[in-house]
Homo-oligomer: A and B are copies of this chain.
Amino acid sequence: MIPTFPLLFLGRQMKVIEGFGVSRVVESDNPNFKPGDLISGLTGWEKYSLITRTAQLRKIQQDDIPLSYHVGLLGMPGFTAYAGFYEVCSPKKGDYVFVSAASGAVGQLVGQLAKLYGCYVVGSAGTSQKVDLLKNKLGFDEAFNYKEEPDLNAALRRYFPQGIDIYFDNVGGPMLDAVLLNMRPHGRIAICGMVSQQSLSQTEGIHNLFMLIAKRIRMQGFLQSDYLHLFPRFLELIISYYKQGKIVYIEDMNEGLESAPASLVGLFSGKNVGKQVICVARE
């Protein structure tokens, strides 16, 4: 099985679109990787890839964890959740945490890590099926469908009458603007993605930044690649949580390379339920 997942940048001098994937080594002149090894890292959207940049490749020790989890729970999205929550959000036990796009590849792990940390966690998503997963499978305290809320500010006031300590932002736009009105003093906002703005030619303006002052809010953008020194610690913790049954991970797997373009486009309208994975080949 070689699941692969497109990143949101395209290869610069390459003819092939790149994405994070799990691959089996067929041939190698690099002593670190032998034929038969399973590796995760950037590869092409293709059945066979020539990988010349091997520094970021990681050899997979196969055990009872699904191989595809190495592009999700144990890959870039999982590590984004880990680094963003622990290193950017400065969580405290008892914090009120809000996660947008909460059933997505990153959000679902953020919420579970926050629960394990002793926080109160609410997530937003765009379908009732996702809301149901958040509440009944992923262990969020509450969840709501933002598409059914004509007034996001009112919705957040309802779910956080005492305000929000941590907002893990995957969407930007009007949700971020509404959250700003509902933050508690010294709150933290981790800016992880702005998927709501990605398809717009002109982004929607954010009007409530003045709240940053009165509430002394820290708002911080981040990339997981700045925290790679923590990757071994991340793997250890998440594998341990997973094996103890303390976390679950939801994937949306499509079959065949030919399903990749439509799956990529679907991300921007929230068609995927959980981490989008493309199964290119099974063993």
| Chain A contacts to B: CB under 8 angstroms | 172, 176, 191-194, 197, 202-223, 226
Contacts and interface: CB of A to CB of B under 8 A. Distances in A.
B226 A221 contact: no
Contacts of A202: 207
A150 to B, nearest CB: 20
Given A205-B204, A205-B206, A223 B212 contact: no
- Copies of this chain assembled into the complex: 2
Contact of A197 (B210, B212, B216): B210
A164 to B, nearest CB: 15
Contact of A221 (B194, B212, B221, B223): B212
Contact of A172 (B191, B192, B203, B210): B210
A115 to B, nearest CB: 25
19 contacts: A191-B212, A192-B213, A193-B213, A202-B207, A203-B207, A203-B210, A206-B207, A206-B209, A212-B219, A212-B220, A212-B221, A216-B220, A216-B221, A216-B223, A216-B226, A217-B221, A218-B219, A218-B221, A219-B220
